[in-house]
Each structure stands twice: as structure tokens, then as C-alpha cells.
Structure 1
């Protein structure tokens, strides 16, 4: 500093040049430049350096992305392509692991097929189906008919807990079991029906309709002349059934024909008295599938008098 002051003093005193020696000047900075200008210049250099660095980083990221985008499948010779069985350049749908080409499968997948599809085998393995279950054996129709003497008193509520019918309570009217199964059908028959109240058998019930309760009725109906009579039908249910038929004759021979609507067994039973009346209880046992019917016909087979030889009908019951 002392040397510099002396030089400045000598310059002023000698009136010489004011130029400072080159060795004491700072490059690019004049003696009167303020310090703030130096700070701004340094900040400008720093910002340019950051900008250049950011551009370089961005260029690297763009180049890396472009490179990764070109690798959308395994390269030829890649071990993964050889193991998965997928052609080079083909992408596998998401969610299906590369198991098509493993040992034990039907072979590598054919290009263009969806995952897990296979071309048909030239010799397909025959499918093994479960043996057919044989149908349950059907019950063969069954039928039997017996005749016994009619009891003096008949309780239809007891003997016909499934269904029953009574004829002749008032004229030729019919009374049925209230809430019965409806299995009995009056199918009519040839000849005019006539009411009668002189039967020896007395019939009672406690569950009838339209007559709810009756005790000791001797009523019934009859029809005269050979070939005339009554026809009934009883529906099958698949279960064994027993039918009780209460009927009689007066100076005639009656014929009871029983058969099945499905064909098969049939039976005929006769009852006669040439001189007076005769009654009987016919017991019919049968078994038929649903939809089939037991067919019953009670007719005059022969008359022994010109005065209305006939067959009569009181009641029928099913249990």
C-alpha cells in the first residue's frame, strides 16, 4: 500500500500519466465498479449453469424413455422367449402366466389363439360318462275281488275314511263324504233308477254332504231288466286301495264285472236269488298308478220274473 501511495503521489507531482500498472488491474473490473455489480454477474453465471444442467437431465430422461419403448417383447435368443413358448414380439394378456409351453401340456400355444385354447387332438380321449341309473321298477297292476254276506249295520264314516257315496236317501239323491278324496265317480249306467227304502241293511254316517249325519238308513236305488245296471269308477293313486261295495238283487242274477283301465287282470262275480232278495258285500283290492282307474259294472245278468227283476245299490266306500 505504501508503494502504491508513493506512486500516486509521484504521478500527481510530475503531472504524468494516471494509468495504473497492468499487474495491479483485475480483469473485466474497473476501479470504480461497485460490489453489487459483481454479485449480479456471479448470479448470472450460476443461473446459466443450472439451466444447462437441467436441459442435459431432460435429454437423458427422454432418451431413456424412447429406448425402453422399443423393447415391447423379448429379444431373439432371450431365454424367457424360449421358455414361455410365445412368439417374439407377441405380448401376453395380463393375468395369464406363461405356463402353456411347460412339460406335460398339450404343446406350445398356436399363435392367434386366446390363452388356454388348444387345437383338437388327433386322437381325443373318449369321455367317461356315469352309468345311467335304471328307472325305478313300476308296480304291476293288482286286482282281487271277494264276496261276503253284507253286515246288518254299515258305518260309512269308518269303512270309507278316504271316500264314500250313498244312494237313495231321498228318491234317487246321492250323499258324498264331506272333504273326501273324490276318488269315486258315478259313471251312470243303463236303465232308469228308482228309489227304495226296504233294504235289510242299515247305513249310517257322520261326515256327509249335503246330509251331514244319518243313522240307520235302509234306502237305496235299483234298476230293472236284463242288461241294465250301474257303472262306477275309482281313481288309482299308486298305493294299494280297498273298495267295499254294498249291493243286492231281487228275483234276478246280478253280475259284477271289475277291470282296470290299463288292461291286465279282470274279474267277474255273480249273485242271484230266483225267489226273493239277496244282499252282499263285495271287497275289491287293487293297486294302480295315478291317472288309471278301476272300472266297476253291476248289472242284471238274468231275470226270474216278468215283474221287474232287478239289481240294487246302497253304498260304496274306499279306504
Structure 2
């Protein structure tokens, strides 16, 4: 029978003969520990699974999460906001205005007329002052009319009223060159006159969008004369008075500055408003210039 010492040597030899990395079977104590741990782990998993199933049963069927709202179509600026949030203001796109013809605007009205009265200088050069035209009345007779040869008849006299007379009473002198039918004169004091209330003269000149100045040299004897100016293509009017109770001729120059909205005429009416004397009381006319 082998001895106890031989048995021990065989046991040690058996352990040393196992190859490296290979574990020997565990003893009965280690197996008991593993079996207990497996039982506990299985119990925990069962409890967790039961709780999950119970929770789903109490909350009812699960709802699918809401989908993101679709992106707005082009031009759509009103997208619904998510529940529980206020509306988010969106900037409205700037509308594009189609190209169109600009609205037609009325031109600014040039309907203007101003009247000023002043004294007559001692000598008046009609050809120098009247850049566009000039006229003079009464050099050679009651119905004589001297005018600018190149003035193209811009200044015209209307139908005269009777009675009508030539006079040489003007305290001033009038000169010109380049006239027709009288080419030149060193100076004349002549003119024409009429008698009685309501009688007088009319003078016209062209009007338009170009500013113009018409000067008329006139007078009154024992009368109050009234000059009225009016545009044929506008609403502007103006007037002035020349009063003389004496028996000698009182003269003045009336300057009419005007501009019309379109082509037309300016019309001047110079009449006896009041006749003071019993003789030939009335208004007189000497010359006119246009520039």
C-alpha cells in the first residue's frame, strides 16, 4: 500500500501537469455561489419586465410623436405654431409692383399778369425799348400809325371808337429808327384822343408760356381813365386808374408783365370811366412797346 507521502507527491505532480491557461473545475462551494446569483438575477429581470408591461397597460396605447410641420409653400407666410407656443411673427414679403407708365401730371400753370403805373420819362426811344415790336399813333393824322418795320404786327389796335382826334399835347417826346411808314424821327409830341364817357381804345399783343412785358403810354384830359388787362387763355386780370380833373393832358406809362399757360393774347382796354368837363373830356393814347 502506498504511503501518505507518495499520495501527496502524486497530487502535486497532477497540478503541475495541467497546461497553462486552463482552469480546473471549481469546487462544490463555488458552484453553489453561481447558482444563487443566477436565481437572483432572473428574479430581478422578471420584476422589471412585469413593471414595464404594467406601465404600458395603465397609460393606454402609445401615441406616435407629432410630425414636424411641413415647410410653408412659396409665398405662404402663415405657418401654424406648435401647441403651447405663441405665434411667431413672420416678415411679409415686399410685393413687387409691375412696371407701369408713370401718371401724367398737369403742367404748372403760368397764368400771371401784373400791372404797374409810373411817370413817363422826358424822352422815350421806342425802337430801343420795344425789342419785339413798337407802335406810335398820330404822327401825320388822326388815323396814322407808325410801327417797327420788323415787328411782324405783334401789337395791334382794335376797332376805334368815335369821336377820335389827333393831338400834340404830350409833355414828352417819342423817337425811333427802323420804322414804317416813317423810318425815323428825332422826337414827336403827337398822339390820338377821344371824347366822352365810355369811349376809348383797345390794344392786343401775343401771349404764351414766354414771359413778356407790354408798355403803353397814355393820358387823360378832364377825365378819369381806366385800363383793364386780361389774358385770353388764362383767368388773370388787372386794372389801373388815371385821374385828371384839369384841362391839360396828364400822361403815364402802364407796364403789363404777363405769362399765359398756352398761346393766346393779352387784351388791353383803355376807356373814359368818368368825363369831368363839358368839352372833349376823355383819354389819350401815344405809343406802346413789347419786349
CA distance in 2, matches of 1:135, 1:169: 51
Aligned with 1:275 (options 246, 254, 265): 246
Q: Could you report, residue by residue, the CA deviation over 1:234-261 in whole angstroms, capped at 9, with x for unpaired residues?
A: 1113200011110000111110111111
CA distance in 2, matches of 1:260, 1:131: 34
- Point out 4+ residue stretches in structure 1 off by more than 4 angstroms: none
* 1:162 pairs with 2:132: yes
TM-score, with structure 2 as normaliser: 0.63
Match of 2:271? 299
**Cα distance change, pair 163–289 in 1 and its aligned pair in 2 (3 A):** farther
* 1:151 pairs with 2:121: yes
Match of 1:237? 208
Aligned with 1:315 (options 282, 287, 290): 287
CA distance in 1, matches of 2:204, 2:253: 17
**Paired residue total:** 193
Q: Tell me, yes or no, if the aligned pair for 1:235 and 1:290 is still in contact at 8 Å.
A: no
Match of 1:286? 258
Shift of residue 145, structure 1, vs aligned partner:
0.2
CA distance in 2, matches of 1:303, 1:152: 27
Match of 1:11? none
**Cα distance change, pair 187–138 in 1 and its aligned pair in 2 (3 A):** farther
Instruction: Give the gaps of 5 or more residues in structure 1.
Output: 1-127
Match of 2:9? none
Instruction: Give the gaps of 5 or more residues in structure 2.
Output: 1-97
Match of 1:178? 149
Shift of residue 188, structure 1, vs aligned partner:
2.2
1:3-82 matched pairs, under 5 angstroms: none
CA distance in 2, matches of 1:191, 1:289: 35
Q: Tell me, yes or no, if the aligned pair for 2:233 and 2:261 is still in contact at 8 Å.
A: no
1:206-225 matched pairs, under 5 angstroms: 206-225=177-196
Shift of residue 306, structure 1, vs aligned partner:
0.5
* 1:264 pairs with 2:239: no
Q: Could you report, residue by residue, the CA deviation over 1:48-105 in whole angstroms, capped at 9, with x for unpaired residues?
A: xxxxxxxxxxxxxxxxxxxxxxxxxxxxxxxxxxxxxxxxxxxxxxxxxxxxxxxxxx
CA distance in 1, matches of 2:232, 2:160: 17
CA distance in 2, matches of 1:212, 1:196: 21
TM-score, with structure 1 as normaliser: 0.57
CA distance in 2, matches of 1:267, 1:136: 26
CA distance in 2, matches of 1:230, 1:188: 8
Q: Could you report, residue by residue, the CA deviation over 1:191-247 in whole angstroms, capped at 9, with x for unpaired residues?
A: 222111221110000011111111111110000000000011111132000111100
1:83-94 matched pairs, under 5 angstroms: none
